[in-house]
């Protein structure tokens, strides 16, 4: 239990640090796609921190831990999140926000590394889970962080080389 408690405490800190990083990155990024991506991820990390904190509080008080869905009631969908991010960016561009060349690779690289660390921590938590509630929590968080990593990877690929990104995403039309 001591190791699981340490993982839970590390998870809370990781999510809070992630929220702060994404808020900073959103303020720093000029590109609407990057800015909206980082803002969405900050919101997700805030929800994850609340979820893990609620789990910890219930565990500390000897109560039954909440399910992820009872804390984070959003019907999270990676494709819906990506679509919302792209729509907001498209709207900003239509309203006259200009694209300024900027190197976002450092922001994206650091963000992807944070997500990878989260995935490893949550996989360890799932392995050490002492009950189905803990396993469900950590499996849920692994799934969420993998979605974040995919969103960041796709976003960086798009920003680095939009033509190649479109070709890769639309490859089915070339093969069929």
How do residues 71-91 score in pLDDT, each as one tens digit? Answer: 665 566 777 888 888 788 878
Which residues have a Cβ under 8 Å from the Cβ of 19 and sit 6 or more positions away? 42, 45, 46, 49
β strands within the chain, DSSP E: none
Burial class (CB in 10 A: 0-12, 13-18, 19+), 175: exposed
CB 36 within 8 A of CB 20: no
pLDDT for 172 equals 54
Query: What sign has the CA pseudo-torsion 37, 42, 45, 50?
Result: negative
pLDDT for 147 equals 94
pLDDT in tens, 92-126: 877 877 666 678 999 999 999 999 999 999 999 99
3-class state of residue 30 by DSSP: coil
pTM: 0.85
Q: Which one, of 121, 115, 119, 120, lies nearest residue 6 by Cα? A: 121
pLDDT in tens, 9-50: 999 999 999 999 999 999 999 888 999 999 999 999 999 999
CA distance 134 to 80: 27
| Structural domains of the chain, with CATH | 2-162 (1.20.1260.10)
């Amino acid at each position: 239990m001591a190791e699981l408690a340490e993982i839970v405490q590390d998870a809370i800190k990781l999510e809070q640090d992630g929220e702060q990083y994404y808020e900073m990155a959103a303020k720093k990024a000029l590109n609407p796609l990057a800015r909206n991506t980082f803002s969405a991820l900050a919101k997700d990390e805030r929800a994850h921190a609340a979820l893990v904190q609620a789990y910890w509080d219930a565990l500390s008080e000897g109560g039954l831990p909440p399910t992820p869905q009872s804390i984070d009631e959003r019907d999270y969908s990676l494709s819906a999140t990506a679509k919302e991010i792209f729509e907001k960016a498209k709207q900003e561009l239509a309203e006259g926000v200009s694209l300024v060349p900027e190197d976002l690779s450092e922001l994206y690289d650091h963000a992807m590394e944070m997500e990878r660390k989260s995935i490893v921590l949550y996989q360890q938590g799932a392995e050490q889970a002492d009950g189905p509630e803990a396993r469900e929590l950590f499996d849920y968080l692994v799934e969420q962080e993998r979605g974040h990593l995919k969103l960041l990877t796709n976003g960086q690929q798009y920003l680095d080389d939009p033509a190649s990104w479109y070709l890769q995403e639309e490859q089915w039309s070339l093969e069929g």
